[in-house]
Amino acid sequence: MARPYRLQAEGCLYHITSRGDDRKKIFLNEADYRKFLEYLKIAKGKFNFYLYAYCLMGNHYHLLIEITQANLSRIMQCFNTAYTVYYNVKRKRCGHLFQGRFKSILVEADSYFAELTRYIHLNPSRAKMASNPAEYRWSSYNAYIHGKDDVFIDIDRARQFLGMDLQQYRKFVEDVKDCSDPFKNVYAGFILGGVKFIKDKLHQIKDEVGSKDFAHKRAIRNLIDPDEILKSVAVFFKIDKEEMRTSISRPMTAKKAAIYLLRQKTGLTNAQIGAMFNMTSAAAGMAAASFAKEIDRDKKLRVAIGRIV
């Protein structure tokens, strides 16, 4: 199976996860947690990246990091390998500790920074390991809410992205009743952000694609600008693009056609498309499904829609 593409460029922000092989525990005691953080700190000094959040769980970990050079793979190899050697020597074992490649999602900071740090810090609560994230020792949450010095994370730089003070952030994290999964909006297996961010990043990597094989390659090569789809649909139905996008009553056929084509031609999620039309994710999905049934029944409409883009 082809691997998801991994863009590595200066200034990129990533959510990183890595799991134990066969989902086995990678941290067995306090010394293991401390040693992993020690290797993480060493890697920071060597590769000069920013660490904004972390949470070490029993059989996996989460990181939110920004790289200053195109060296994400070298960073991860540095501390994952060092920790594996430590773990194996201590337990008199050999072989892999982590399950395959680490997973990285390229993130738009302006749209998802606060939401992702919340998601990371709430991991122990979701896993029933702590009733409150502040009770969990092996995450960066207490550095956020108490302003404590943390030798591992770049808290001052992180606050610039949060857009809220410490009290507001604590309320943002702890008062949430249902923390939605931000990764449901991931595009092409490795990008999380708004439509413009996704478009810009995909254009950035087109020259890198070449003959490389990776998951979702076809989606990247065949990318159509969402705005071009909206313009084309508006021209086809002879209506104003903004009216089509914002009207709650009409013209529904044009709106459903646009939503359907966005789902078919861009790979954007229902949530991302819904945001473009002031609709919920569910409503966007229903609109696309409804229009798919219409063109199945109406051959002329199906042919006409096929000519739009």
pLDDT digits (tens, 9 = 90+) for 190-201: 888 887 888 788
**3-state DSSP helix/strand/coil % of the chain, to nearest 5:** 55, 10, 35
| Model pLDDT, residue 56 | 97
If asked whether residues 18 and 158 sit together in one domain, one would say yes
If asked whether residues 172 and 284 sit together in one domain, one would say no
More reliable by pLDDT, 266 or 106: 106
More reliable by pLDDT, 204 or 2: 204
If asked whether residues 171 and 286 sit together in one domain, one would say no
> Mean pLDDT throughout 239-244?
84
Residue 70 lies in a domain: yes
pLDDT band at 1 (very low <50, low <70, confident <90, very high): very low
pLDDT over threshold 70, residue 151: yes
* Contacts with 212 (C-beta within 8 Å, 6 or more apart), sequence order: 5
**Residue 31 burial by Cβ neighbours in a 10 Å radius (0-12, 13-18, 19+):** exposed
Residue 176 lies in a domain: yes
If asked whether residues 84 and 177 sit together in one domain, one would say yes
At 215, is the secondary structure helix, strand, or coil?
Answer: strand
If asked whether residues 104 and 240 sit together in one domain, one would say no
If asked whether residues 229 and 291 sit together in one domain, one would say yes
What is the residue range of 153's domain? 13-185
**Domain end (from 163, 185, 207):** 185
- Are 106 and 201 within 8 A, CB to CB? yes
| Model pLDDT, residue 215 | 46
Looking at residue 62, which CATH number applies to its domain?
3.30.70.1290
Residue 161 lies in a domain: yes
> Mean pLDDT throughout 63-86?
93
Q: Tell me the pLDDT of the chain averaged across its residues.
A: 85
Looking at residue 234, which CATH number applies to its domain?
1.10.1750.10
Instruction: Find residue 56's DSSP bridge partners.
Output: 61
| Model pLDDT, residue 112 | 92
At 13, is the secondary structure helix, strand, or coil?
Answer: strand
Here the tokens at position 59 are 């059989």
Range in 53-67, 132-146, 228-242 with the lowest mean pLDDT: 228-242
Percent of the chain at pLDDT exceeding 70? 89
pLDDT over threshold 70, residue 222: no
Range in 9-18, 25-34, 218-227, 279-288 with the lowest mean pLDDT: 218-227
pLDDT over threshold 60, residue 212: no
Encode pLDDT of 270-295 as tens digits: 887 888 888 888 888 888 888 888 88
| Model pLDDT, residue 270 | 80
If asked whether residues 169 and 31 sit together in one domain, one would say yes
Instruction: Find residue 62's DSSP bridge partners.
Output: 17, 55
Residue 208 lies in a domain: no
Residue 39 lies in a domain: yes
Residue pointed to by tokens 């896993």: 127
Count: domains in the chain: 2
If asked whether residues 118 and 264 sit together in one domain, one would say no
| Model pLDDT, residue 24 | 93
- Are 37 and 83 within 8 A, CB to CB? no
Residue 206 lies in a domain: no
| DSSP annotation of 163 | -
If asked whether residues 180 and 299 sit together in one domain, one would say no
| Model pLDDT, residue 35 | 96
Give yes or no for a cis peptide into 124 (omega within 30° of 0).
no
If asked whether residues 156 and 236 sit together in one domain, one would say no
Range in 44-48, 90-94, 264-268 with the lowest mean pLDDT: 264-268
Encode pLDDT of 291-300 as tens digits: 888 888 888 8
Residue 262 lies in a domain: yes
**Domain end (from 159, 185, 211):** 185
> Mean pLDDT throughout 87-99?
91
| Model pLDDT, residue 214 | 47
Helices then strands, counting H and E runs in the chain, come out as 15, 5
| Model pLDDT, residue 211 | 47
| Model pLDDT, residue 216 | 47
